[in-house]
Amino acid sequence: MEVIETKEALTQALQHCRDSRISIGFVPTMGALHPGHISLVERCRKENGVVVVSIFVNPTQFNDQSDLANYPRTLEEDLYKLSSAGCDYVFAPSVEEMYPEEDTRVFDFGMLDKVMEGAYRPGHFNGVAQIVSRLFDAVQPDKAYFGEKDFQQLAIIRRMVAMMNDPIRIVGCPIVREADGLAMSSRNMRLTPEQRKNALEIAHTLLACREKIGCVPLGELKKWVVDRINHTPGLRTEYFDIVDRDSLQPVSEYKENALQACIAVYAGAVRLIDNIRL
Ligand code: PAF
């Protein structure tokens, strides 16, 4: 496995793939890798001739500067995990390398980024689109892998690729959960044991919501979910919504197989997201 820090060196390293038509699979990450990331790398390994993983904590997608400052950085451990998972190239550029000048592009995702994460983290998805488009330019992958835990991000990336007429195939991969059900996240390592225990209520409540769907009016069900989370010590719901899986717009009526329940919850100062297909 080779660690590369510049776009130029990456282009050179991947030239043999383009010359010999070896497929390039790409997993963009911000590091602090957990088994959820590794499942993306393993799938990428199975489906491509060469695997590239980027590690870059992207400043333009953080609307909260303390969140950026506190984001875990664990490069040495990440490299060890990636090498064991069969990664070929790690692209770990500096901020200056990715943004030699300020990126002033503004993406128009219509209503897709006006709800949920987009509504509560202004500018977040614009920053995600800025960095992912730059990473796609640098890697020029055939396929790129994203986790469904960031359900809205996945929809935004699909839309961005369609808007830019990019031939990259975007592959969405299922959420990986801890044995007890908590969705894996780099932020979980910031939870105290007490918060970690309480946070489990998020996954349990989403599962219970799925059991109730179709039996209870949606408005009542949404209220039930928020009340149950907010009555758990130390948890505070930022948003909970039941949305159409494609448009991500909130729905008021049950539609079979077309809905996703999405939630953001604070466990103390740690912001966690999760979702489930209903
Ligand atoms: O999901 C993430 O880790 C980030 O948003 C991504 C896609 C690597 C862009 O910085």
Same structural domain, 195 and 154: no
Tell me, yes or no, whether 181 lies in a domain.
no
Are residue 249 and residue 159 in the same domain, yes or no? no
Is 249 in the same domain as 197?
A: yes
Read off the DSSP letter of residue 218. Answer: H
The four Cα atoms 144, 53, 28, 193 give a dihedral, to 10 degrees, of 130
For ligand 1, is residue 135 a contact (CB within 6 Å)? no
The number of the ligand 1 atom at minimal distance from the alpha carbon of 147 is 1
* Ligand 1 proximity of 28 Cβ (cutoff 6 Å): yes
Q: Which pTM value belongs to this model?
A: 0.96
Task: Among 107, 141, 173, identify where a domain stops.
Answer: 173
Domain edge (last residue) among 123, 149, 173? 173
**H-helix segments, the chain:** 7-20, 35-47, 65-70, 75-84, 95-98, 116-120, 124-139, 151-163, 193-212, 218-230
Q: Which amino acid is at 47?
A: E
Range of the domain at 153: 2-173
Residue 130 lies in a domain: yes
CATH of residue 265? 3.30.1300.10
Q: Which atom of ligand 1 is nearest to the CA of 186?
A: 3
Task: Let me know if residue 168 belongs to a domain.
Answer: yes
- Distance between Cα 158 and ligand 1 center (Å): 14
Sheet of 259-267, strand order: 235-244, 259-267, 270-277
Q: What is the pLDDT of residue 43?
A: 98
CATH number of the domain encompassing residue 12 = 3.40.50.620
Contact 265, 235 (CB under 8 A): yes
Task: Say yes or no: 76 and 139 in one domain.
Answer: yes
DSSP per-residue letters across 122-137: TTHHHHHHHHHHHHHH
Distance CA 136, CA 97 (A): 14
Q: Return the SS3 of 227.
A: helix
Please give the pLDDT value at position 63.
Answer: 87
Asked if 37 is an active-site residue, the reply is yes
Give how far Cα 219 sits from Cα of 208, 215, 224, 226, 242, Å.
15, 12, 9, 11, 9
16 and 106 belong to one structural domain: yes
Residue 180 placed within a domain: no
Residue of 37, 113, 131, 186 best suited for mutating to test ligand 1, as the one with most atoms within 8 Å of CB: 131
Q: One of 37, 124, 204, 231 is an active-site residue; which one?
A: 37
> How many angstroms separate the alpha carbon of residue 231 from the centre of ligand 1?
31
In this prediction, the residues of the chain whose per-residue pLDDT falls under 70 are none
Q: Give the per-residue pLDDT at 159.
A: 98
- What pLDDT score does 62 carry? 94
Measured from the Cα of 150, ligand 1's closest atom is 1
